[in-house]
């Protein structure tokens, strides 16, 4: 645990149980490893952490490329963007998962070898679109593992 994470963990000592605290701390630890501006890191560690302290995170994903993250909750999904300061909450029943495996069919120009997409059916300015894609065969097991977690989450009642 980093020193940055030490004071953050104290904020969550009053939440419901060790598992909840552990998952929030794992999320904050992963965030602290991203290449973010200090203001963006503080936004996650203070503002986002305060907003989710009463919420049980089932698991999370981060995008090192964009600094964005997904927090998978029991009945919903939270998307966070430190670049825009947006936190969007999407009910689970409005989330869909599509997988495009272009190894088996005709690939158009610009299509990746494999793509997993988690998206919402919500108004245009509120849409979630989380893509994992690659043109490298070696990346497919990692993407398939993530998609498997998405599908397990979507199908858990």
pLDDT in tens, 103-129: 988 888 889 999 999 999 877 777 899
Nearest CA-CA partner of 100 in 133, 141, 148: 133
pLDDT digits (tens, 9 = 90+) for 73-108: 999 999 999 999 999 999 999 999 999 999 988 888
In angstroms, the CA 101 to CA 113 distance is: 6
Q: Per the structure block, which two tokens stand in for 118?
A: 């988690």
pLDDT band at 4 (very low <50, low <70, confident <90, very high): very low
In angstroms, the CA 51 to CA 87 distance is: 9
Q: Per the structure block, which two tokens stand in for 82?
A: 């430190």
pLDDT band at 2 (very low <50, low <70, confident <90, very high): very low
């Amino acid at each position: 645990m980093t020193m940055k994470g030490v004071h953050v963990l104290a904020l969550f000592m009053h939440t419901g149980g060790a598992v909840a605290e552990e998952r929030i701390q794992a999320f904050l630890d992963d965030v602290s490893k991203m290449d973010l501006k200090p203001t963006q890191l503080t936004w996650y560690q203070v503002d986002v952490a305060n907003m989710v302290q009463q919420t049980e995170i089932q698991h999370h994903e981060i995008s090192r490329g964009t600094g964005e993250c997904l927090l998978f909750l029991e009945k919903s999904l939270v998307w966070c963007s430190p670049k825009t300061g947006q936190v969007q909450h999407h009910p689970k029943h409005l989330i869909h998962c599509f997988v495009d495996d272009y190894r088996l069919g005709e690939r158009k120009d610009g299509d990746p070898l494999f793509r997993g997409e988690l998206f919402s059916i919500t108004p245009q300015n509120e849409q979630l679109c989380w893509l994992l894609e690659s043109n490298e065969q070696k990346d497919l097991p990692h993407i398939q593992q993530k998609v498997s977690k998405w599908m397990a989450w979507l199908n858990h009642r």
